Amino acid sequence: MLKPALLILVCLIMLGVSIHLLLKGLRQTGTERVLNRLAQGQPQLVVEKTSWAGLERAFLRAGLGRPNEQLGRWMLLWAFGTLIGFAAGGWIGLVVCLLVPPLAFRLFISWRYQRRLKRMIEQLPTLLDHTVRSLKSGRTLADAVLGAIHAADNPLKEAMGRVQRNVQLGVSLPDAASDFAELYEKDELRLFALGLKVNHRYGGNASELLENLIKMIREREQAARQLSAMTGETRVTAWVLGSLPLCLATYFLAANPAYLLAMWHDSSGQMMLASAFGLQAVGSLALWRMLRSV
């Protein structure tokens, strides 16, 4: 009786949300849509930090923009999925639907951020080289940096658009670069911002400073590649240990489904499966932390 009632409740809530979204779309005038399109890509004022500041920071670093009202819809859908999981699989389904989507989303954000940041650091020497050549042609440091940002490729151009917008809003270039470096929390970006700040305050040869920074970034990248090659065996071992239980469970489901299904329909078997899932999650997290320390 409880499961049909939950399904009916979920259907009624989804119907109400769909009607609300339809009415909201109908109320939105053509003028508002035009203004929203015109505002895209234009300098935006810095907004105050909210309770979503950490989530906004993660979205910005991953290149997903700022979370908007669609995030609330996804959270509502997640709540519906949790109710459906509880109705279909009991407490085990509830726990799985409650924990797996946030964990998968967190891993996706982290993976996207690391991949994007790696690509940005690879593009940074090219940007600095373009800045050095502009400085030697007689341009000021600010004009050279902004010109190099405009000539850069994505994702570095898209990310450093934050620096351009802040400068257009009246923020000094060193402060804008410091804000950008603190957002992405990378040593190379912090050194770039520190070099701009030192040159802005005390003067000096900016071309020589940037050339030394280019050399340092390339040496760090070469050292990182060498370390990755030396620790390849360790990383492969960690992947094998982490994926082996999942592969075995998949094999049992394919070769002898009754083996695991019998455990699923038994209370003690459900406890064993839940414990195995928890141990697998803890072990994968421990292996991941060990790899991060290498």
Q: Are 212 and 132 in contact (CB under 8 A)?
A: no
Task: Give residue 293's pLDDT.
Answer: 62
Q: Which of these, 245, 249, 234, lies nearest to 284 by C-alpha position?
A: 245
What residue ranges define each of the domains in the chain, with the CATH number in brackets?
114-220 (1.20.81), 234-293 (no CATH)
Single pTM value for the model: 0.59
Choose among 176, 120, 170: nearest CA to 145.
176
Q: According to the model, what pLDDT value does residue 118 have?
A: 86
**Are the C-beta atoms of residues 206 and 198 closer than 8 Å to each other?**
no
CA–CA dist 283, 286 (Å, integer): 5
Query: Residue written as tokens 């390339």?
Result: 218
Q: What is the pLDDT of residue 46?
A: 43
Closest Cα to residue 177, out of 49, 191, 153, 140? Answer: 191
Segment 63-106, tens digit of pLDDT: 777 666 566 677 777 777 777 777 776 666 677 777 777 888 88
Tokens linked to 254: 């394919």
For residue 114, pLDDT over 80 is answered with yes
| Mean pLDDT computed over 208-234 | 81
Position 35 scores a pLDDT of 53
Q: pLDDT per residue over 224-277, tens digit each? A: 788 777 777 777 887 787 788 878 878 877 787 777 777 777 777 778 778 888
Check whether 5 has a pLDDT greater than 70. no
Whole-number Å distance between alpha carbons of 271 and 256: 20
